[in-house]
Amino acid sequence: MKLTNNTILITGGGSGIGFALADELRKLGNEVIVTNRSEAKLAKAKAEGFATYPVDMTDGKSIDAMAKQVLADHPRLNAVIQNAGIMQPENLKKADSLKIQSDTIATNLLGPMRLNTALIPHFLKQDAAFIMTVSSGLAFMPLAAFPTYCATKAAIHSYSQTLRYQLRNTPIAVLELAPPYVQTHLTGDYQANDPSAMPLDAFIREVMTILKEKPDAQEILVERVNFLRFAESNGVDEYRKKFIGLNEHMPPAE
**For the residues 5-23, what does the mean pLDDT come to?**
97
Half-sphere exposure of 150 (CA within 13 A, CB side): 17
Q: Identify residue 119 by its one-letter amino acid code.
A: L
The residues with which 100 forms a beta bridge, in sequence order, are none
**Mean per-residue pLDDT, 84-109:** 94
What are the tens digits of pLDDT across the range 38-70? Answer: 999 999 999 999 999 999 999 999 999 999 999
What domains does the chain contain, in order, with CATH numbers? Answer: 7-248 (3.40.50.720)
List, as one string, the DSSP characters of 131-154. Answer: EEEE--GGGTS--TT-HHHHHHHH
Residue 96: band (very low, low, confident or very high) from pLDDT cuts 50, 70, 90: confident
Q: How far is residue 55's CA from residue 68's CA, in Å, rounded to a whole number?
A: 12
- State the average pLDDT over residues 117-131: 98
DSSP letters for 42-78: HHHHHHTT-EEEE--TT-HHHHHHHHHHHHHH-TT--
pLDDT reported for residue 153: 98
C-alpha separations of 59 from 13, 55, 99, 224 in Å: 18, 8, 14, 34
pLDDT digits (tens, 9 = 90+) for 203-219: 999 999 999 999 999 99
pLDDT of residue 1: 82
Catalytic status, residue 165 = no
- At 66, the amino acid letter reads M
More reliable by pLDDT, 17 or 215: 17
The predicted pLDDT at position 20 comes to 97
**pLDDT value of position 253:** 61
Measure the CA–CA gap between 157 and 231, rounded to whole angstroms. 15
Whether the pLDDT of residue 134 is over 80: the answer is yes
Mean pLDDT of 73-99: 94
Kindly report the number of other CB atoms within 10 A of residue 209's CB atom.
11
pLDDT of residue 252: 64
Q: What is the pLDDT of residues 215-242, one digit of tens each?
A: 999 999 999 999 999 999 999 999 999 9
Residue 100 and residue 88 in contact, taking contact as beta carbons nearer than 8 Å: yes
> For all residues of the chain together, what is the average pLDDT?
96
> Would you say how long the chain is, in residues?
254
DSSP state of 224: G
Average pLDDT rounded to a whole number, residues 154-167: 98
Residue-wise pLDDT tens digits, 177-202? 999 999 999 999 999 999 999 999 99
The closest alpha carbon to 79, from 36, 38, 22, belongs to 22
Inform me whether the pLDDT recorded for 254 exceeds 70: no
16: left (phi over 0), alpha (psi -120 to 50) or beta: left
| Run of H or E residues at 31 | strand 31-36
Indicate the pLDDT class of residue 249, thresholds 50, 70 and 90: confident
Strand partners, 34: 10, 52
Contacts of 212 (CB under 8 A, 6+ apart): 3
Q: What is the pLDDT of residue 251?
A: 66
Single out the catalytic residue among 149, 159, 165, 190.
149
